[in-house]
């Protein structure tokens, strides 16, 4: 059974998760988070952007 401090900790974790969820789904623009973290999150968007050259790279060797 969770005591009071466990309940408080679980609520805090849930709040951190909810905040991250909101930021991933709706962007980090309005949420108080450092520029460094915003840049790190944005950098991952590039993983799904591929150039034509990449898609047409022929593996020949």
Partner 1 sequence: MPASSAGNHRPLSVYPYSIERLCELFARCAGTTPATIDGKLHRYYFEEYFEHLNAKTIVVEHSYTDRHFLEDYAGYYVRCFGKEHSKYKSRCWRLHFFHLTFDEDGFRRAVLGLPDALTEDQLNKAYLGFIVVKPLPKTFIGRTCLAVYRDDHRRHYPITHRQVAHLAGFRLKVESLAFQEQDKVAAACATSALWSLFQQTGMLFQHHVPSPLEITRTATQVRAPILGRDVPSAGLTVVQMAAAIKSVGLEPEIVNVQPRPLNEAETPSVPSPASLQAITYAYLKAGIPVMLVAALYDRSPPAIEEHNAPQFVAGHAVTLTGYRTGADRCIPSGEAGTLFTSSRIDRLYVHDDQVGPFARLTLDAPPLRFPGTDKDDIRFALGSSFRGKDGRSGSVVFAPETLILPLYHKVRIPADVIRQQVLLIDDGFETARQRNPGVLTERLEWDVFLTTENRFKEDLRADSSLLPDERYALLEEAFPRFIWRAIALHAGTRLLEILFDATDIEQGDYVLHHIVYDRERVNGLFA
What residues from 29 to 58 belong to the interface with partner 1 (CB under 8 A)? 33-34, 36-37, 39-50, 54-58
Of 37, 9, 6, 7, nearest to 24 by C-alpha is 37
Please identify, using beta-carbon distances, which residue of 29 and 54 lies nearer to partner 1.
54
- Cα atoms in the 13 Å half-sphere on the side-chain side of 42: 10
Told to check if 27 binds partner 1 by CB under 8 A, we report no
In the complex, the residues that contact partner 1 under the rule CB under 8 A are 5-6, 8-10, 12-17, 19-21, 23-25, 28, 33-34, 36-37, 39-50, 54-61
């Amino acid at each position: 059974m969770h005591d009071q401090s466990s309940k408080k900790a679980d609520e805090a974790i849930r709040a951190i998760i909810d905040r991250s969820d909101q930021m991933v789904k709706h962007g980090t623009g309005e949420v108080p988070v450092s520029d460094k973290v915003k840049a790190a999150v944005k950098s991952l968007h590039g993983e799904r952007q591929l150039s034509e050259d990449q898609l047409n790279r022929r593996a020949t060797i």
